Chains A and B, each alone.
Chain A
Amino acid sequence: MIIINCPFCGPRDHSEFGYGGDASIDYPALDAPMDEWHDAIFLRENICGMQAETWHHVNGCRMWLIVERDTMTHEIKSVRPAHGGNAAVLENVAEGGES
């Protein structure tokens, strides 16, 4: 079992999460040329080693996370919320402010 330290819920088994995919992909603008969309949708680095990827805590807080994980050893380096707004809320909580 891989243990993912969810910033909202604490350490949880990976079976609580849904796997998203490569977090390094930025989707182009809606009116971007077809080739840019092709590359974003269909092509992957497919890194063997540390990669940033998205996980969805679907059976927990339902938040999307960005996890840095080694695709060979499965070691996790970092976990953070995928959306900046959530990160700000967490920081606020850590500082003892209103959540």
Chain B
Amino acid sequence: MNRYSAWAVFKNGLSGHRGWTRQWRDPEPKKAYDIVIVGAGLHGLATAYYLAKNHGLRNIAVLEKGWLGGGNAGRNTTIVRSNYMMPGNREFYEHSLKLWENLSHDLNYNVMFSQRYHVTLLHSPAARDAAARRYNTMRLTGSDGELWDLATLKAEIPHLNYNNARFPITGAAVQKRAGNARHDAIAWGYARAADSLGVDIIQNCEVTGVTRNGGEVSALETSRGTIAAKKVGFAVAGNSSRLWQMAGLGRLPIESHKLQAFVSEPLKPLLDHVVVFGVGGAHFYISQSDKGGMVFGGDLDWYKSYAQRGNLPMVQDVAECATSIMPCLGRVRLLRHWAGVMDMSMDGSPFICKTSLKNLYLNAGWNYGGFKASPASGWYFADLIANDRPDPVIENHDLERFRRGVNIDERGAGPDPKLHG
């Protein structure tokens, strides 16, 4: 593997940049591995990387039915933040944000992580009180967060709708260490780093069956032959239920829903921050990419779906949100929009856990929040697989928590998956 550096760019420049090699291998699958991770999305790749790096394990494969990072890794709005409050989530997402802060150096790959502030608009005294509670909890647990009054917000972002909004903006809750990153770079960075530690990343390899030997998984049937495994990890959010049923394990506390995202034509620099708007049924988040496109999204399409395509009522809904907080976007044209399939869980929080099969581990239920979570998800999932016990941070991220009466429900929306946006 070429190590990337300014010196490497200079040196390869002398030879016409013909010295660069491919970033990861394209190996044939072996007959057997110690650990097989299903799903080469951000979570699967991060898991393989931390298994190799943190736990010194080798002989690992990551199976991917399509191409690397072609699922939800490429279908998100790239927002990274840790403004979660519930025990379990608070430590988990803070750890993830800390990993993000050093990820480019760790992977020797520029993931373009930009700590450009995550600005949640507030519209009422009650919303301000709720935000104060949440952001104070964050500050008391080693994170950052602050409340902005209207004058501060106006100075920072002068072109929001301060004049005639249906719900007047009264201030904002801000996490300055939050921001966004380049989604493809994360997938490629993790893939390259894992590959350099000997992980086999096997693309176009769809799992079609799970062979069980009593209470264990013995092998995976794939479109590229049978692959035996001592330990298996599922990281296929969106399709977790399908794989779960292939393993004969029945039902999960998950429904698959689709979420759309949008990008506009490129504009000159307009918005420096990630801005979030949610009041009176609206739900909207927007930032500007380095190429200039306005990247934004809103609610789910509201009905269960495995189709990676969105429906038009939500396009209208999101466009209305956009023009209600940034009327200056009124004549901007939409360039693309797409939909990804989400594992929506019963309390809006994920699962990283052991299962009823001895050597099978589950990573699922990421709802809207999988992108920001991917480093910590890989970190704790790798730790779980390597040591066969959950770290205390994820001790309630198991499938049995509802039976114990534990809900990690940030929104307080109850057991209706579509409401956990």
A19 interface residue, CB < 8 Å from B?
Answer: yes
Q: Name 28 interchain pairs, CB-CB below 8 A, sorted by A.
A: A14-B311, A14-B313, A15-B313, A19-B302, A19-B303, A19-B418, A22-B304, A38-B403, A41-B346, A42-B346, A42-B415, A43-B250, A43-B251, A44-B241, A44-B253, A44-B255, A44-B417, A45-B251, A46-B241, A46-B242, A46-B252, A46-B255, A46-B304, A48-B239, A53-B304, A71-B256, A73-B307, A74-B305
Tally of contact residues, B, Cβ under 8 A = 26
CA distance A94 to B241 in the complex (A): 41
B253 adjacent to A42 (CB under 8 Å): yes
Chain B residues contacting A89 (CB-CB under 8 Å) are: none
B298-330 vs A, Cβ < 8 Å mask (1 yes, 0 no): 000011111100011100000000000000000
Give the secondary structure class of A's interface. mixed
B4 interface residue, CB < 8 Å from A?
Answer: no
B416 interface residue, CB < 8 Å from A?
Answer: yes
B191 interface residue, CB < 8 Å from A?
Answer: no
CA distance A46 to B341 in the complex (A): 12
Chain A residues contacting B418 (CB-CB under 8 Å) are: 19, 21
Task: Scan residues 1-42 of chain A and give those whose CB is less than 8 A from a CB of chain B.
Answer: 1-2, 13-15, 18-19, 21-22, 34-35, 38-39, 41-42
How many pairs, one residue from A and one from B, have CB atoms within 8 Å of each other in the complex?
Answer: 73
3 closest A-B pairs by CB:
A46-B241, A43-B251, A15-B313
Tally of contact residues, A, Cβ under 8 A = 26
* Nearest CB in chain A: distance from B365 CB, A: 11
B254 interface residue, CB < 8 Å from A?
Answer: yes
B302 nearest in chain A by CB position: A19
A46 adjacent to B403 (CB under 8 Å): no
B402 interface residue, CB < 8 Å from A?
Answer: yes
Q: A44-B241, A72-B307 are in contact. Are A21 and B255 (CB under 8 A)?
A: yes
* Nearest CB in chain A: distance from B366 CB, A: 15
* Nearest CB in chain B: distance from A28 CB, A: 15
